[in-house]
């Protein structure tokens, strides 16, 4: 839906009005307002439009600003209409047709169409033109003048069309201009007082623009074989005119009547449309005139429309200009619904729809991928990273466990070794006890054998063996006794054997010909062989073995210490690893918690999303309702107030006009009465003069009344126009033909006439005499200073007592009464006019106040609306953001779940 574009063009002052070039219309931006001669704006007389072009603006500029859009749209398949509206001689034809030097909108549009066609190489065009006029409600073809009184029809395929109208295919602007020239020659124009070359008909120049995609035709595809057909109407209306101004009569008057009638219908149609009648299913009187019927699609249908309202700035045209501006204001509120007109085959339609579906799918996909795929990828990556890390940690944990187990194993082994070694130490101390027993013998032997270290070694061994000899000696002695008594007990060997390292033992007893039962005892696997050797071994080998055993023991002690150290280190390491493991465990727990939290967040977000959706929908419903309600309210408030105001103003204007009419009627009546009175006075004077003249000659001279010079008729109006009116003709009462009997003042002196009338007068004298006497008795009237007839107060005040006319007594009385009444009536009317004027002023002031208030409230409302819209926009943006966020999270969670 789009509004009709309305612009106003003010033409320069016409040369005939050059003397009165006071500018009553002031243009500020796109507002034109009526001003007093002093330049102060008249309230309520400001009109704002899309554009207001002053007299200095040329047609080319108007075309660029206001009309070009419609022409371009027509080339793209939209129907378009441009028309000029305004009073006669305001410049409609000047604007639409222009001249050869200064092209009008029609010429500029024609050039635009053809230059555009040349530029659009991808489409092929077919242009058809027609030119018609509506003259006295008859449609005539201007290209084929023989086609007259054409009829308007309507059908589904063509819509509204003029049957039998010739359409010429054109391929260049020159061809079009030739046709226009030809049509112009057949157009009805005529001279009026206001315009020497006045359009007496409405003309519609029509271009039908068909176009088709060239490439589609070449490629042989049927998808784009749709043909765009648009109709461009360029209308030059005849101007509204006032007979009083145009001085039209006869044919011109008839033309003017038809022009005004059709323009009035156009005004009504625009008024109805601006009131929204069409939307409410109301009747729009398109059919009331041929013009509105033909322009029906342009006014309330499928077309883009631009109106140029032309006005004359002269003071004498203020009323007409105001009318034009009111029309323009109404037109500004009218909306049309233009759409591209295409003729499509079924196959093309199918293809097009398929393509549209494809496009939509692509868009949908694109949208989905754009919005969520990146997010999903990111989440997937995160998830993978997380999983990899988890696996790594698990592997590390497993390795750590393995290492831990190994360490524990080693520790156990070490402990066993230690135990083993400890037992070895015990054994060696036992050997020391034995040595003690044979101490001297041993020492001697060492000395004897010349082994200098023998004693030292033993001593040192003693020193290095801190074990409690006593305790161990007892235990070992027991064992020894048993062993020596051949009561060898191998009970404990099984366990010992299990824990003893065979290699260690081998190392320990390496090369020893152990004859000592302890050695045999301590190495059960070699016991059998050792027994034999022991039996045959010497004491030196025992000492050597002992020595080596001690050395080895020393070594083992060192090893043990190292093992203890290692062990403690390992324990510390184990402790560290345990802590690390515990940390890892807690981290794992945390991650699990996080995961469950994400899951729960997903549900929460889903819930939140649902709630959001609900809120959003309810919110949009509320806002829609609000906007509809507000719109209706605002629209109705405006329309109502505007209408009420207009109605009030109209009724007030009507009242004033009525009162003025009545007043002027009264004045006319008064003037008539004045003339009558004057003529009566003259007649009266003439009669008196006659009577005076004829009095002496009459046989009934005694009965005659003399209007002597001493007592002249005193109907005085001192050469001033007496303000007297009278309705009743004098001759009705007196039974005389005034024209015959009462000559005008100027004729009294004419002797011939005087002589001719004398016998008649003489015949009337007796009757007049009687009348005069009775009038003398009953009535005396005079014409007062203020020009009104009055009953005479004092005798001889105004009218001579001699001059009394009885036959006219009633008549004069009636006249006086009527005059008095008329005076009262006029005064009353004047009062009413005054009151009405005051009322108008008061109402105007109130209306202005209301208008001000309305405007203020409208501004406030607009501000509120804008603020509201901004808030709404930000809310919608937030919702959209959250929407995206939630959707992406959902997708991520779904991906994660998968």
Q: Which residues, numbered 438-457, are part of the site for ligand ATP (CB under 6 A)?
A: none
Q: Should residue 53 be labelled a site residue for ligand ATP when binding is judged by CB under 6 A?
A: no
Instruction: Give CA–CA dist 341/344, Å, rounded.
Output: 10
Query: In whole angstroms, how close is the CB of 258 to ligand ATP at the nearest point?
Result: 13
Among the listed ranges 191-199, 408-416, 692-700, 877-885, the one in contact with ligand ATP (CB under 6 A) is: 191-199
Q: Should residue 107 be labelled a site residue for ligand ATP when binding is judged by CB under 6 A?
A: no
Q: Should residue 247 be labelled a site residue for ligand ATP when binding is judged by CB under 6 A?
A: no
Among the listed ranges 81-89, 154-162, 335-343, 498-506, the one in contact with ligand ATP (CB under 6 A) is: 81-89
Q: Should residue 93 be labelled a site residue for ligand ATP when binding is judged by CB under 6 A?
A: yes
Instruction: Give CA–CA dist 847/631, Å, rounded.
Output: 23
Query: In whole angstroms, how close is the CB of 192 to ligand ATP at the nearest point?
Result: 7
Matching residue, tokens 């008064």: 670
Task: Select from 77, 80, 91, 807 the one that contacts ligand ATP (CB under 6 A).
Answer: 91
Task: Select from 5, 8, 11, 514 the one that contacts ligand ATP (CB under 6 A).
Answer: 11
Q: Which is nearer to ligand ATP, 195 or 888 (CB)?
A: 195
Q: Which is nearer to ligand ATP, 93 or 427 (CB)?
A: 93
Q: Which residues, numbered 378-417, are part of the site for ligand ATP (CB under 6 A)?
A: none
DSSP H helices, 207-303, are: 214-219, 243-246, 251-274, 290-294, 296-300
Task: Select from 5, 77, 80, 86 the one that contacts ligand ATP (CB under 6 A).
Answer: 86
Please name which of 72, 65, 152 lies closest in space to residue 111, comparing C-alpha atoms. 72
Task: Select from 67, 79, 130, 198 the one that contacts ligand ATP (CB under 6 A).
Answer: 198
Q: Which is nearer to ligand ATP, 199 or 800 (CB)?
A: 199
Q: Which residues, numbered 227-246, are part of the site for ligand ATP (CB under 6 A)?
A: 238-239
Task: Select from 2, 3, 12, 408 the one that contacts ligand ATP (CB under 6 A).
Answer: 12
Please name which of 292, 323, 375, 365 lies closest in space to residue 34, comparing C-alpha atoms. 323
Q: Should residue 211 be labelled a site residue for ligand ATP when binding is judged by CB under 6 A?
A: no
Q: Which is nearer to ligand ATP, 94 or 205 (CB)?
A: 94
For residue 205, is it left (φ>0), alpha (ψ between -120 and 50) or beta? beta
Query: In whole angstroms, how close is the CB of 786 to ligand ATP at the nearest point?
Result: 49
Q: Which is nearer to ligand ATP, 57 or 656 (CB)?
A: 57
Instruction: Give CA–CA dist 866/417, Å, rounded.
Output: 92
Q: Should residue 430 be labelled a site residue for ligand ATP when binding is judged by CB under 6 A?
A: no
Task: Select from 73, 90, 698, 806 the one that contacts ligand ATP (CB under 6 A).
Answer: 90
Among the listed ranges 92-100, 270-278, 768-776, 799-807, the one in contact with ligand ATP (CB under 6 A) is: 92-100
CA distances from 9 to 5, 27, 100, 309 (A): 13, 11, 20, 6
Query: In whole angstroms, how close is the CB of 102 to ligand ATP at the nearest point?
Result: 9
Among the listed ranges 179-187, 190-198, 262-270, 698-706, the one in contact with ligand ATP (CB under 6 A) is: 190-198
Lookup: tokens for 75: 């080339």
Query: In whole angstroms, how close is the CB of 93 to ligand ATP at the nearest point?
Result: 3
Residues with Cβ < 8 Å from 207, sequence gap 6 or more?
Answer: 74, 109, 110, 113, 127, 128, 129, 176, 231, 232, 234
Q: Should residue 92 be labelled a site residue for ligand ATP when binding is judged by CB under 6 A?
A: yes
Among the listed ranges 196-204, 459-467, 633-641, 647-655, the one in contact with ligand ATP (CB under 6 A) is: 196-204
Q: Which residues, numbered 273-332, are part of the site for ligand ATP (CB under 6 A)?
A: 310
Residues with Cβ < 8 Å from 700, sequence gap 6 or more?
Answer: 765, 766, 769
Asked if residues 229 and 77 have their Cβ atoms less than 8 Å apart, the reply is yes
Q: Which is nearer to ligand ATP, 14 or 305 (CB)?
A: 14
Q: Should residue 195 be labelled a site residue for ligand ATP when binding is judged by CB under 6 A?
A: yes
Instruction: Give CA–CA dist 497/512, Å, rounded.
Output: 20
Write a three-state SS string for 121-140. Answer: CCEEEEEEEEEEEEECCEEE
Annotated binding site: 86-93
Q: Indicate the pairing of strand 189-190 with strand 198-199.
A: antiparallel
Asked if residues 93 and 314 have their Cβ atoms less than 8 Å apart, the reply is no
Q: Should residue 806 be labelled a site residue for ligand ATP when binding is judged by CB under 6 A?
A: no
Query: In whole angstroms, how close is the CB of 343 to ligand ATP at the nearest point?
Result: 37
Instruction: Give CA–CA dist 159/156, Å, rounded.
Output: 5
Q: What are phi and psi of 715, to 5 degrees?
A: -85, 85
Q: Which is nearer to ligand ATP, 12 or 249 (CB)?
A: 12
Q: Which is nearer to ligand ATP, 5 or 239 (CB)?
A: 239
Query: In whole angstroms, how close is the CB of 145 to ligand ATP at the nearest point?
Result: 20
Query: In whole angstroms, how close is the CB of 259 to ligand ATP at the nearest point?
Result: 8
Please name which of 292, 337, 293, 332 lies closest in space to residue 78, comparing C-alpha atoms. 337
Query: In whole angstroms, how close is the CB of 191 to ligand ATP at the nearest point?
Result: 10
Instruction: Give CA–CA dist 169/211, Å, rounded.
Output: 13
Q: Indicate the pairing of strand 31-35 with strand 25-28.
A: antiparallel
Lookup: tokens for 840: 């108008």
Asked if residues 745 and 685 have their Cβ atoms less than 8 Å apart, the reply is yes
Q: Should residue 262 be labelled a site residue for ligand ATP when binding is judged by CB under 6 A?
A: no
Query: In whole angstroms, how close is the CB of 860 to ligand ATP at the nearest point?
Result: 40
Query: In whole angstroms, how close is the CB of 320 to ligand ATP at the nearest point?
Result: 11
Q: Should residue 201 be labelled a site residue for ligand ATP when binding is judged by CB under 6 A?
A: no
Asked if residues 483 and 517 have their Cβ atoms less than 8 Å apart, the reply is yes
Annotated binding site for ATP: 86-93
Per-residue DSSP letters for 642-668? Answer: HHHHHHHHHHHHHHHHHHHHHHHHHHH
Query: In whole angstroms, how close is the CB of 322 to ligand ATP at the nearest point?
Result: 17
Please list the residues that pair with 782 across neighbouring strands.
790
Number of residues forming the site for ligand ATP (CB under 6 A): 17
DSSP character at residue 746: G
DSSP character at residue 197: T
Query: In whole angstroms, how close is the CB of 309 to ligand ATP at the nearest point?
Result: 11
Lookup: tokens for 112: 């635009």
Please name which of 555, 533, 550 lies closest in space to residue 454, comparing C-alpha atoms. 550
DSSP character at residue 64: I
Query: In whole angstroms, how close is the CB of 190 to ligand ATP at the nearest point?
Result: 9
Q: Should residue 88 be labelled a site residue for ligand ATP when binding is judged by CB under 6 A?
A: yes
Instruction: Give CA–CA dist 206/185, Å, rounded.
Output: 17
Task: Select from 199, 534, 780, 888 the one that contacts ligand ATP (CB under 6 A).
Answer: 199
Asked if residues 454 and 447 have their Cβ atoms less than 8 Å apart, the reply is yes
Residue ranges that bind ligand ATP, judged by CB under 6 A: 11-12, 86, 88-94, 195, 197-199, 238-239, 310
């Amino acid at each position: 839906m789009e509004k009709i574009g309305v612009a106003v063009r003010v033409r320069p002052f016409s040369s005939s009005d050059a003397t009165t070039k006071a500018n009553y219309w002031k243009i500020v931006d796109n507002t034109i307002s009526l001003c007093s001669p002093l330049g102060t704006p008249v309230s309520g007389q400001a009109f704002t439009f899309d554009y207001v072009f002053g007299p200095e603006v040329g047609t080319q500029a108007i075309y660029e600003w206001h009309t070009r859009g419609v022409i371009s749209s027509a080339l793209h398949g939209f129907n378009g209409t441009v028309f000029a509206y305004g009073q006669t001689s305001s410049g409609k034809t000047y604007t639409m047709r222009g001249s050869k030097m200064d092209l009008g909108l029609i010429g500029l549009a024609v050039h635009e169409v053809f230059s555009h066609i040349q530029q659009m190489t991808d489409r092929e065009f077919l242009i058809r033109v027609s030119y018609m006029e509506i003259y006295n409600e008859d449609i005539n073809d201007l290209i084929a003048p023989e086609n007259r009184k054409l009829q308007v029809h309507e059908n589904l395929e063509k819509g509204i069309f003029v049957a039998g109208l010739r359409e010429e295919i054109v391929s260049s602007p020159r061809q079009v201009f030739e046709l226009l020239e030809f049509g112009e020659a057949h157009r009805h124009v005529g001279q009026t007082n206001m315009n020497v070359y006045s359009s007496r008909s409405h003309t519609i120049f029509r271009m039908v623009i068909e176009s088709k995609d060239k490439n589609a035709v070449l490629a042989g595809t049927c998808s784009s074989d749709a043909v765009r057909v648009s109709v461009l109407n360029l209308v030059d209306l005849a101007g509204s005119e006032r007979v009083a101004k145009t001085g039209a009569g006869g044919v011109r008057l008839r033309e003017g009547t038809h022009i005004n009638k059709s323009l009035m219908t156009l005004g009504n149609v625009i008024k109805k449309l601006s009131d929204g009648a069409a939307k409410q299913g109301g009747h729009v009187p398109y059919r009331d005139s041929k013009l509105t019927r033909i322009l029906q699609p342009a006014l309330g249908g499928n077309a883009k429309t631009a109106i140029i309202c032309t006005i004359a700035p002269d003071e004498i045209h203020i009323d007409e200009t105001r009318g034009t501006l009111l029309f323009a204001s109404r037109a500004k509120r009218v909306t049309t619904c233009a759409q591209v007109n295409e003729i499509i085959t079924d196959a093309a339609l199918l293809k097009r729809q398929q393509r549209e579906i494809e496009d939509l799918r692509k868009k949908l996909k694109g949208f989905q991928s754009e919005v969520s795929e990146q997010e999903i990828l990111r989440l997937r990556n995160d998830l993978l990273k997380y999983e990899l890390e988890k696996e790594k940690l698990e592997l590390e944990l497993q390795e750590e466990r393995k290492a831990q187990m190994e360490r524990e194993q080693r520790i156990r082994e070490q402990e066993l070794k230690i135990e083993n070694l400890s037992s070895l130490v015990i054994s060696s101390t036992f050997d020391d006890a034995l040595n003690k027993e044979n101490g001297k013998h041993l020492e001697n032997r060492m000395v004897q054998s010349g082994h200098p270290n023998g004693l030292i070694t033993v001593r040192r061994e003693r020193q290095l063996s801190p074990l409690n000899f006593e305790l161990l000696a007892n235990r070992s002695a027991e064992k020894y006794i048993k062993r020596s008594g051949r009561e060898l007990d191998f009970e404990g060997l099984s366990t010992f054997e299990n824990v003893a390292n065979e290699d260690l033992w081998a190392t320990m007893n390496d090369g020893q010909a152990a004859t000592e039962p302890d050695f045999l005892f301590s190495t059960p696997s070699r016991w059998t062989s050792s027994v034999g050797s022991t039996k045959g071994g010497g004491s030196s080998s025992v000492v050597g073995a002992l020595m080596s055993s001690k050395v080895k023991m020393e070594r083992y002690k060192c090893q043990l210490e190292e093992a203890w150290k290692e062990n403690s280190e390992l324990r510390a390491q184990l402790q560290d690893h345990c802590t690390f493991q515990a940390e890892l465990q807690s981290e794992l727990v945390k991650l699990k918690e996080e995961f469950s939290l994400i899951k729960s967040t997903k549900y929460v977000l889903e819930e939140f999303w649902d709630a959001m959706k609900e809120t959003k929908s309810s919110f949009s419903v509320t806002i829609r309702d609000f906007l509809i309600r507000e719109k209706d309210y605002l629209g109705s408030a405006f329309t109502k107030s505007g209408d009420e105001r207009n109605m009030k103003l109209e009724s007030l204007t009507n009242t004033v006009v009525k009162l003025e009419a009545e007043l002027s009627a009264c004045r006319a009546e008064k003037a008539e009465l004045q003339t009558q009175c004057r003529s009566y006075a003259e007649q009266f004077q003439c009669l008196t003069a006659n009577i005076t003249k004829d009095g002496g000659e009459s046989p009934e001279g005694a009965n005659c009344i003399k209007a002597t010079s001493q007592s002249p008729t005193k109907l005085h109006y001192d050469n001033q126009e007496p303000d007297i009116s009278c309705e009743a003709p004098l001759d009705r009462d007196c039974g005389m033909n005034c024209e015959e009997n009462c000559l005008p003042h100027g004729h009294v002196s004419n002797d011939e006439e005087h002589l001719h009338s004398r016998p008649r007068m003489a015949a009337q004298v007796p009757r007049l005499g009687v009348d005069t006497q009775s009038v003398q008795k009953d009535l005396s009237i005079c014409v007062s200073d203020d020009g009104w007839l009055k009953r005479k107060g004092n005798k001889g005040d105004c009218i001579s007592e001699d001059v009394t006319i009885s036959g006219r007594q009633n008549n004069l009385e009636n006249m006086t009464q009527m005059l008095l009444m008329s005076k009262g009536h006029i005064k009353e009317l004047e009062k009413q006019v005054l009151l009405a004027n005051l009322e108008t002023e008061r109402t105007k002031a109130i209306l202005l106040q209301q208008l001000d208030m309305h405007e203020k409230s409208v501004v406030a409302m607009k501000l509120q609306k804008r603020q509201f819209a901004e808030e709404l926009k930000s809310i919608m943006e937030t919702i959209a953001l959250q929407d995206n966020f939630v959707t992406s999270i959902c997708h991520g969670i779904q991906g994660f779940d998968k």
